[in-house]
Structure 1
Amino acid sequence: TTTGTRLYFYVTHSPRLQFDPVMEVVGTKGTATWNYKGECEIHTLDGQTLSFNNGRVDPWLEVMRVAARVQRKELAQPYSTLANSRSFVVAINGAYDSARYIRPIPEKYVQTISTGPEERAVIQDIDALLDQACAERKLLSDLGVSWAVATPRIDVQDYKEFNPFCQPRVFE
C-alpha cells in the first residue's frame, strides 16, 4: 500500500487437507484471527486474549438477509459497498496483474488423489509451504520453492481499470 501496510493473501485450490478460510489481521496492538465458523480470537501485545463468536450466524445466509433488509428499506445499504470494498478488489486485481499469466506447476510436484467425482490434484507439500509462508510473511518465491516465480510489484495507486488482456504498470 502507499502507507506501507503489507497485505498477504494465501490460497490454493490444490491442498491435501481442505478447510475453510482463516483470516488473520496483525496490527500495531495485537493480532485478530477469524474463521468461517464465526470464531474470533484477539491477542493483544499486553498479553490479553479475547474470544467470541458470531452466535452461530451462517455468513452465507447473512448475505441474503442483508440484501433482503436493504430491499425492504430496513437497512440503508449493504455492509459491503462499492466504496468500502474497492481496496480489496484492487488488491486482488493487482495480484492478478502482477502474476501476468498462469504458470503451470511441473507435473512431478502434482499428485492426483481419489477417483471419479472426488478426484483432485494435490500440490506436493503445499499445506506446509503455505503455513510457512504465512508464518514468515513471505511469498512462495521468497521461500525458494522451485516452481514459484517472483513477479513484479504493481502500482495500483489511481487504479482505474482491470483488464486481464493488457500489461499492467510495473514499478521500475
Structure 2
Amino acid sequence: MRTFKAALVGIGGFGSSHVRAMSELAQEGRIEIPAFAELQPDRFPEQFERLTALGAAHYTDYEQMLADHPEIDFVAIATPIAAHKPMCVRVLEMGFHVLVEKPPAVTIQDLDEIIAARKASGKLCQVDFQNTSGRAFRELLDRLHAGAIGEVKRVTGVGIWSRSKAYYARTPWAGKLTNGGKYVLDGTFNNPFAHLLNNCLLAAGDADPSRMLPQTVQAELYRVNDIEGDDVSCIRAVTHDGVEVLFYAMLCHPANETPFIAVEGTLGEIVWHYDNRIVQRIGGEEEVRSFGEENLMRNMYDNLMQAIANPDVPLFAPIEASRGFVLVSNGAYESSQAVRTISGSFVTEQEAGDSIIRLLPALSEGIREAASQGLLYSEVPFPWAKPTEPARMDAYRHFELPPGYATEGRTPPSGVPNQA
C-alpha cells in the first residue's frame, strides 16, 4: 500500500490518542504528516513536540493548513464535539477525505449536512467509532449476516462505568447540553457509551444503514451529578424491521465493568463484550471466542486508507451509518422531555483519589436484571424513575431542545416541525 499523507486537527484530549496512532503509522512509513492544527499548542507540549519531530508544520488555522497542503489525502478531526460538524463539512468541501471523532454531529440536521457535503465532494468520511473494528465485533456481524442465530429480535446493550466529579470538571463542555450557544448533549449515550449504542444499532440492522433507523424511541434520562446532561439512562428503540434495541447505562458505579451487547435471535443468542470476546449460545451449547487485544484506532486508520486505495473496500463506520445513532439520540431527548435529578436520598458518595464519585446503589444492583427483562427503569419500578412516552421518528428532520429542558420536570415540545 502506498504512503498516505495525513493531517490532524486537535491534539489535546482524545486528540492525543490520534497523535500516538499517527506517529506510529509515520514511523512505520505508512503515512506522512505534513501538518497539524491546534489553537493552543502550549497546553499540549508532548503532542506538539512529537508531531513536529516528524516534520509536521503547526497551524492555528486548519483551513489555511489545508490550502497550503493540497497533497494531504485525509484529515483526522479530534476537536470538541460542537466543532465536529462545521469542520467536517468544510474539510469535505475543500476536497479531502475525513476521519472524524464520535459523535460526528449531535443533531440530525447537522448530520444530514455532513452527509450532503460528503456526497457532493465524492470523498470518504469515516466516523471513529473504533469499537466497530475489533475482530470480535466483525465476527459478530458476520455470524448475524449468515443467520447463525436466526432472525434477530432484540439487541440489549449494558454499560456500567465510574466517573468522578473531576471527570465533569475536566473541560467546559463536560456534562453540558449546550456550550457557547452550541449543542453538545454530553451524556451517557452521546459520549462514553456512544460506541455501545452505535454497535447495538449495527447489530440490529445487520450493518445496513437503512435498517438501523428507529421508528420509535422511548427513553428515561437522569442525573446524580451536578450537570445538565444525563449520567443514568435507558432507551428502548424499535427499528422499522421491528427489532427492539435496548440500552442501559450508568456512570455512577463504584468501578468500571466490561460493557456488553446481547443479540437475541429466533435460534439463539450471541453476546459481544468490549474485551474483544463473543459468546454464542444455541440449543444449550455455548461457544466462546476471544480475540485478544487490538489497537482499534489503528484499525480505523487502516480501514480508511484501504478504502481510499480501493473503492470496493467498505468503511467500518461511514458517516451514513451514523443516522440511526443520531436519530436514537435525538429521539431520547424528545421522549424524555427532561433530564431528571435523582433525589440525594437515593445517592451515596465514595472517594476517588482527589475527587468524589456519586453512586446509585440500587441501580448498580438492579440494572442487569432490568436489562434481562427488557424493562425501562420506571417499569422495574425504581422509586426515583418517571415514565415517558415513545417519540415517533418517522420523517424526523430537525432537533431542538425545548426551552427549559435542563430543569426538572416535563416541558412542552418545542413545536419545531419534524416533517420532510
TM interval, shorter chain, is 0.7 to 0.9
Does residue 306 of structure 2 align to residue 35 of structure 1?
Answer: no
Q: How many residues of Structure 1 are paired with residues of Structure 2 in the alignment?
A: 167
* SS of equivalent to 1:11: strand
Q: Is the 8 A contact 1:16 1:123 kept in 2?
A: no
Q: Which is further off, 9-18 or 77-86?
A: 77-86
Which letter maps to 1:66?
N
Whole-angstrom distance in 2 between the partners of 1:68 and 1:87: 25
Does residue 326 of structure 2 align to residue 89 of structure 1?
Answer: yes
Q: What's the counterpart of residue 150 of structure 1? A: 387
Which letter maps to 2:401?
P
Q: What's the counterpart of residue 23 of structure 1? A: 261
* SS of equivalent to 1:8: strand
* SS of equivalent to 1:51: strand
The answer for unaligned runs of 5 or more in structure 2 is: 1-237, 404-412, 416-420
Which letter maps to 1:103?
R
Structure 1 residues 22-171: aligned runs within 5 Å:
22-44=260-282, 46-70=283-307, 73=309, 76-165=313-402, 167=413
* SS of equivalent to 2:289: strand
Q: How big is each residue's C-alpha offset from its partner over 1:32-63, in whole Å with a ceiling of 9 and x where there is no partner?
A: 1111110001112x333232233432334423
State the percentage of identical aligned residues.
20
**What is the Cα deviation at residue 147 of structure 1?**
0.6
* SS of equivalent to 1:62: helix
**What is the Cα deviation at residue 163 of structure 1?**
2.3
Please list every run of at least 4 consecutive aligned residues from structure 1 whose deviation after the TM superposition is greater than 6 angstroms: none
Q: What's the counterpart of residue 13 of structure 1? A: 251
**What is the Cα deviation at residue 108 of structure 1?**
0.9
Q: Which is further off, 28-37 or 15-24?
A: 15-24
**Residues 108/52 of structure 1: CA separation in 2 closer, same or farther (3 Å cut):** same
**What is the Cα deviation at residue 97 of structure 1?**
1.8
Whole-angstrom distance in 2 between the partners of 1:168 and 1:69: 44
Whole-angstrom distance in 2 between the partners of 1:65 and 1:118: 38
**What is the Cα deviation at residue 91 of structure 1?**
1.9
Whole-angstrom distance in 2 between the partners of 1:4 and 1:66: 31
Whose radius of gyration is greater, 1 or 2? 2
Which letter maps to 2:260?
V
* SS of equivalent to 1:129: helix
Q: Is the 8 A contact 1:98 1:168 kept in 2?
A: no
**What is the Cα deviation at residue 68 of structure 1?**
4.3
**Residues 159/54 of structure 1: CA separation in 2 closer, same or farther (3 Å cut):** farther
Q: Which has the higher contact order (CA 8 A, sep 6+)?
A: 1
Aligned-CA RMSD value: 2.4
Instruction: Using structure 2 for the length normalisation, give the TM-score.
Output: 0.37
Which letter maps to 2:315?
P
Q: Is the 8 A contact 1:36 1:59 kept in 2?
A: no
Whole-angstrom distance in 2 between the partners of 1:93 and 1:54: 34
Which letter maps to 2:365?
A
**What is the Cα deviation at residue 115 of structure 1?**
4.8
Which letter maps to 1:140?
Y
Whole-angstrom distance in 1 between the partners of 2:400 and 2:258: 29
**What is the Cα deviation at residue 120 of structure 1?**
1.0
Q: Is the 8 A contact 2:335 2:388 kept in 1?
A: yes
Whole-angstrom distance in 1 between the partners of 2:370 and 2:322: 25
* SS of equivalent to 1:103: strand
